[in-house]
Amino acid sequence: MDEAAVKLKLKEWIVERSKIPVIDGQFSYDTNIIEEGYLSSLDIVEFILYIESLLGDELDMEELEPEMFTSTNTMYDTFFATV
């Protein structure tokens, strides 16, 4: 999967899960998904599991830092860019 496809999948997951509407004009790949209220910390748990399924591999929980989940871009850069 290329960068655009991965980011779209991440965004789709957020749209599916978010309790507040995801409006194209307001949501970008740089939007802070927790601070802006799209996802809660409990949602991040499920998101981690989804990312693992996209990667086809387990993440090392010890290495995880909250900042990695700030936005779609940070998640792409952290987990997918080096793949």
Site residues (vs other proteins, CB under 8 A): 19-21, 34, 40-42, 44-45, 48-49, 58, 61-62, 64-67, 69
Q: Around Cβ 54, how many Cβ atoms within 10 Å?
A: 15
H-state helical runs in the chain: 3-17, 41-55, 72-75
Residue closer to other proteins (CB basis): 2 or 35: 35
- Shortest reach from residue 4's CB to other proteins, in Å: 27
Rg, the chain, Cα only: 12
Q: Which residue, 2 or 12, has its beta carbon nearer to other proteins?
A: 12
